[in-house]
């Protein structure tokens, strides 16, 4: 008699399970996205510096100049500014603001808001502030250098005549987002210029506003009712944090979501014969590289580095576990950037590697530790390098840690080899040149922890000069050629082994059109999407 009770209980549990709704379909005016968004810490454009944060920010905040999602190759276009003029000495840029832009609060966008936003970003001095301060803005001088004489005009005064494209490209970054001065200052506490409030709230003039954010769970965005542009088709956008690729794939197959943004190569392949789903490839700006600490005597031998560069199975990796998601790329500017270089001088060649090693001061190689964070693709790459470098006779040990742990060692210059990824901070070649090929003072005291060249203790006074020269060159073709030259030299002499550039493979329902993740230069744009 008791057994029947147990059986009944089990049966009823299963019955309720079966009765649960199965496949669903998302409402036509709602876009549902699965993505990894646990890196979001804040929505404040002056502070936000994460990938998922940039995805939100681009749809919430407008900038003086911005990219058209349907024509990214055209470069920056007018947005809040309808035009701009450069003074003859090249040090002053005067923007004229466009009509018809309104914040979600209903306040019109004026030059005063732009002035406030840029000054605020400099004064708060959060991590991304360098994007602006590299033009000579300081918390002390912003009152003179960032000025809006009236509601239609904004004047920026630089410390040097930089390439205009460089300045404007920087203004398209998240930190260039213009916030609603009145709303923000009404929520300021203890002189934080609204920093705490903007962490969880938004006050922009873009097509959407954030309605709800649960950290590491979901972000919910609704239309900004006062948006000045054409009303987007998607009235509500929900981004849900789904860690696992396999889960995203299942949800996509079942129609629970419209877009899956973190599909692994295996799951992309698994979706290829599902008719209702398509995969859209997009080249992104993220690079995968290894770098050798020049404080390590063996690794500062150029021949050893050359051997390591030859002994990496670039094609093997990009055709197996990275298939479709990383393409071989060996220069520090991502493809589609100004001055990008497509040459790949290194291929997997054990003979060349062995010959180089034999010529070096360390023909028997030695112990090398690879610092790598515990992300799947990086661990796979690290294990492949361990395998092929091991064949050279090197004794490779993997030091796996969380992002913060590995980064900590890297910044303290305590690694041997660091296996890392680098994404551009703003869509100008200087964003990568200024870190891979710039290190004016290599001393420990300099503490230039933001520079990859410094982290690897690579002293390059001459190359640093060349990098500096490139940012003030106003002729675009000459500038591009300067970067190509720089990269060729970098490929041969640097302790950086650039390996791959990311291709983002987004899976989506076949009805979804115009999903643009942002290319190598910017972030996702929801307002053009239809389905």
User: Within positions 438 to 497, which residues make up the interface with other proteins, using CB under 8 A?
Assistant: 447-450
Is residue 27 a contact point for other proteins (CB under 8 A)? yes
b/e code 42-58 from CB counts within 10 Å (16+ = b):
bbbbbbbbbbbbbbbbb
Instruction: Name residues contacting other proteins, limited to 205-234 (CB under 8 A).
Output: 211-212, 214-218, 220
Is residue 240 a contact point for other proteins (CB under 8 A)? yes
Instruction: Give the shortest CB-118-to-other proteins separation in angstroms.
Output: 18
Is residue 4 a contact point for other proteins (CB under 8 A)? no
Spatial separation of the C-alpha atoms in residues 291 and 94, rounded to whole Å = 41
The smaller minimum CB distance to other proteins, of residues 84 and 496, is found at 496
Instruction: Name residues contacting other proteins, limited to 265-304 (CB under 8 A).
Output: 266-267, 269-270
Instruction: Give the shortest CB-397-to-other proteins separation in angstroms.
Output: 8
Is residue 428 a contact point for other proteins (CB under 8 A)? no
Angle between helices 350-359 and 302-310 (to 10 degrees): 170
E-strand ranges in 79-137 read 81-86, 92-97
Q: Residue 93: helix, strand or coil by DSSP?
A: strand
Is residue 20 a contact point for other proteins (CB under 8 A)? yes
Spatial separation of the C-alpha atoms in residues 451 and 178, rounded to whole Å = 28
Where does this chain touch other proteins (CB under 8 A) — which range of 15-23, 82-90, 185-193, 360-368?
A: 15-23
Instruction: Give the shortest CB-68-to-other proteins separation in angstroms.
Output: 27
CB atoms within 10 A of CB 303: 16
The smaller minimum CB distance to other proteins, of residues 95 and 515, is found at 515
Is residue 378 a contact point for other proteins (CB under 8 A)? no
Instruction: Give the shortest CB-485-to-other proteins separation in angstroms.
Output: 26
Sign of CA dihedral 208, 212, 215, 217: negative
The smaller minimum CB distance to other proteins, of residues 14 and 189, is found at 14
Q: Please select the residue that binds other proteins; options are 65, 72, 111, 382, rule is CB under 8 A.
A: 382
Instruction: Give the shortest CB-430-to-other proteins separation in angstroms.
Output: 14
Strand order in the sheet with 153-157: 81-86, 92-97, 153-157, 146-150
The smaller minimum CB distance to other proteins, of residues 5 and 462, is found at 5
Residue by residue, DSSP assigns 253-294 as: HHTS-SEE----HHHHHHHTT-TTEEEEEEEEEEEEEEEE-T
E-strand ranges in 163-276 read 208-214, 218-223, 236-241, 259-260
Q: Please select the residue that binds other proteins; options are 94, 383, 474, 493, rule is CB under 8 A.
A: 383
Rg (CA), the chain: 25
Whose CA is closest to 256, among 509, 513, 527? 509
Is residue 24 a contact point for other proteins (CB under 8 A)? yes
Where does this chain touch other proteins (CB under 8 A) — which range of 264-272, 290-298, 300-308, 338-346?
A: 264-272
Spatial separation of the C-alpha atoms in residues 252 and 389, rounded to whole Å = 39
Q: How many Cα atoms sit within 13 Å of 135 on the Cβ side?
A: 27
Lay out the site mask for other proteins across 243-262 (x = CB under 8 A, - = otherwise).
xxxxx-xxx--x-xx-----
Is residue 6 a contact point for other proteins (CB under 8 A)? yes
User: With contacts defined by CB under 8 A, how many residues of the chain interact with other proteins?
Assistant: 93
Lay out the site mask for other proteins across 111-150 (x = CB under 8 A, - = otherwise).
--------------xxxxxx--------------------
Rounded to 5 degrees, what angle do the CA atoms 435, 438, 439 make? 110
Instruction: Give the shortest CB-161-to-other proteins separation in angstroms.
Output: 24
Instruction: Name residues contacting other proteins, limited to 311-340 (CB under 8 A).
Output: 313, 316-317, 319-321
Q: Please select the residue that binds other proteins; options are 35, 42, 79, 432, rule is CB under 8 A.
A: 42
């Amino acid at each position: 008699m008791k057994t029947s009770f147990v059986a009944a209980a089990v049966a009823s549990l299963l019955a309720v399970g079966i009765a649960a709704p199965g496949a669903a379909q998302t409402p036509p005016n709602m876009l549902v996205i699965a993505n990894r968004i646990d890196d979001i810490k804040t929505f404040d454009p002056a502070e936000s510096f994460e990938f998922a944060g940039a995805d939100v920010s681009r749809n919430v905040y407008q900038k003086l100049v911005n990219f058209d999602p349907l024509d990214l190759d055209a470069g920056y276009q007018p947005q809040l500014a309808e035009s701009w003029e450069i003074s003859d000495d090249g040090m002053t840029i005067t923007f004229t603001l466009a009509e018809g832009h309104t914040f979600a609060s209903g306040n019109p966008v004026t030059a005063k808001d732009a002035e406030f936003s840029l000054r605020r970003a400099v004064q708060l001095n959060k991590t991304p502030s360098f994007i602006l301060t590299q033009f000579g803005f300081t918390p002390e001088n912003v009152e003179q250098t960032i000025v809006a004489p009236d509601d239609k005009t904004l004047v920026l005064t630089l410390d040097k005549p930089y390439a205009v494209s460089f300045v404007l490209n920087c203004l398209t970054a998240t930190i260039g987002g213009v916030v609603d001065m009145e709303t923000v200052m009404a929520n300021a506490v203890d002189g934080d210029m609204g920093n705490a409030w903007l962490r969880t709230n938004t006050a922009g003039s873009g097509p959407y506003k954030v309605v709800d954010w649960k950290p590491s769970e979901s972000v919910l965005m609704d239309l900004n009712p006062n948006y000045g542009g054409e009303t987007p088709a998607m009235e509500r956008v929900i981004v849900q944090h789904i860690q696992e690729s396999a889960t995203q794939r299942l949800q996509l197959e079942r129609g629970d979501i419209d877009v899956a943004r973190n599909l692994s190569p295996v799951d992309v392949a698994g979706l290829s014969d599902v008719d209702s789903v398509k995969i859209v490839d997009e080249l992104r700006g993220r690079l995968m590289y290894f770098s050798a600490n020049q404080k390590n005597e063996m690794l500062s031998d150029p021949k050893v580095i050359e051997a390591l560069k030859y002994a990496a199975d670039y094609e093997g990796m990009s055709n197996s576990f990275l298939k479709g998601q990383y393409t071989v790329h060996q220069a520090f500017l991502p493809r589609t950037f100004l001055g990008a270089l497509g040459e790949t001088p290194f291929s997997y060649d054990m003979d060349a590697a062995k010959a180089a090693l034999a010529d070096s001061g360390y023909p028997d190689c030695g112990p090398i530790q690879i610092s790598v964070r515990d992300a799947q693709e990086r661990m796979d790459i690290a294990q492949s390098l361990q395998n092929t470098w091991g064949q050279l006779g090197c004794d490779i040990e993997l030091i796996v840690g969380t992002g913060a742990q590995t980064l900590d060692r890297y910044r303290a210059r305590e690694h041997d080899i660091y296996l890392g990824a680098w994404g551009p901070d703003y869509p100008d070649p200087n964003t990568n040149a200024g870190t891979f090929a710039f290190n004016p003072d290599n001393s420990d005291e300099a503490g230039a922890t933001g520079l990859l060249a410094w982290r690897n203790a690579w002293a390059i006074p001459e190359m640093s000069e060349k990098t500096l020269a490139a940012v003030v060159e106003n002729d675009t073709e000459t500038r591009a050629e300067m970067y190509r030259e720089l990269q060729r030299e970098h490929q041969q002499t640097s302790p950086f082994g650039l390996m791959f550039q990311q291709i983002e493979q987004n899976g989506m329902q076949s009805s979804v059109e115009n999903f643009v993740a942002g290319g190598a230069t910017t972030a996702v744009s929801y307002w053009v999407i239809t389905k």
